[in-house]
Amino acid sequence: MTIKPLALSLMLATAAGCALAGGIAVSQTQPLPAVQWDVRRLDTLDRNVRRLERALTQRNAVGQPVLVEPDPEVVTLMGRVATMDRRLGDLEATVQRINGDLERASFAADESASETAALRTRLNQAETRLKAMEDADRAAAERAEAEAEALRSPTGEPAGDLAAAQGLMPADPAGAARAYEMVIENWPDTPQAREAGWRLGDIRRAANDQAGAVTAYAQALNGWPTTAWAGETTLKLARALVATERDTQACGALGEFNRRYAAAASAQLKTIAGQIRTQAACR
């Protein structure tokens, strides 16, 4: 191949330097003596370089070009440089990809933080509403319990509770019925509970609840008391039994009236007993 003038000059200068060294073999372990460059040496070097240039030009002209082989160490070094350049490019691409991933992760983290803050706000609001509902329910339960306690025993003794229930009539029959029921529940086996029973039966019979009236009258007459109202209540029980088509039981109630209360009963009650007996077809 054709050698450029600058490269050729350097090569010839190197060759001339070797020629000036006189071909003396120097041991590898012994350093070369420093060359003393003067005008004469430089002129000689220049002439040698010119002769080498003319010789190389002549060889190139006759078709015998001078080939300069590359230094293997330089080739190896260039290969390593190319490899390092590729690795550097790969590292740069990796860093760019990591930076992109970090940016996306940072954006996602910001969004997650915003969503977390929103969820925390909603949770706090829900907890506040839930606490308010719990407080309201607790207050309502306490009020209901207080009302139930007051209804259960407004005075704390049977006679007072019975009087309080009677005070609700006739303005609030339903309230009076509940009050009588509480007297029966709170003070069982007392004269007031028996009286509350027959009064409750009257309220139910007036509301056309004949079955409920039967139950209330029967509770009042449990054990067949000897009170003044017992005879009349027995006839009311018999009449409610006839109204619920239980004639046999009505006749049984009339038999108890005759044995227990008829002797002291008024003529009006005896007349009513006869009418009921006829209605029930008692023998």
Arch. (CATH architecture) of 158-280: Alpha Horseshoe (1.25)
- Work out the angle at residue 93's Cα, subtended by the Cα atoms of residues 89 and 98, and round it to the nearest 5 degrees: 145
For residue 29, give the 3-state DSSP assignment. Answer: coil
By CB atoms closer than 10 A (0-12, 13-18, 19+), residue 269 is: middle
Contact 191, 199 (CB under 8 A): no
pLDDT digits (tens, 9 = 90+) for 74-125: 677 778 778 888 888 888 889 888 988 888 888 888 888 888 888 888 888 8
pLDDT tops 70 at residue 248: yes
Contact 186, 158 (CB under 8 A): yes
- Per-residue pLDDT band for 257 (boundaries 50, 70, 90) equals very high
Q: How far apart are CA 182 and CA 233, in angstroms?
A: 20
Residue-wise pLDDT tens digits, 221-230: 998 999 999 9
Instruction: Identify the sign of the CA torsion 67, 68, 72, 75.
Output: negative
Q: Report pLDDT for 3.
A: 43
**Residue count (the chain):** 283
List, as one string, the DSSP characters of 94-155.
HHHHHHHHHHHHHHHHHHHHHHHHHHHHHHHHHHHHHHHHHHHHHHHHHHHHHHHHHHH-SS
Contact (CB, 8 A) for 49 and 13: yes
**Rounded (10°) angle between helices 230-243 and 247-260:** 170
Cα within 13 Å of Cα(270), Cβ side:
10
User: What is the pTM (predicted TM-score) of this model?
Assistant: 0.47
Domain residue ranges in the chain: 1-22+36-68, 70-152, 158-280
**Cβ atoms of 234 and 198 closer than 8 Å:** no
Cβ neighbours of 162 (radius 10 Å): 22
Task: List all residues 6 or more positions away from 240 whose beta carbon is below 8 Å from its beta carbon.
Answer: 201, 205, 210, 211, 213, 214, 217
Which residue type is seen at 38? D
Query: What is the predicted pLDDT for the residue at 231?
Result: 93
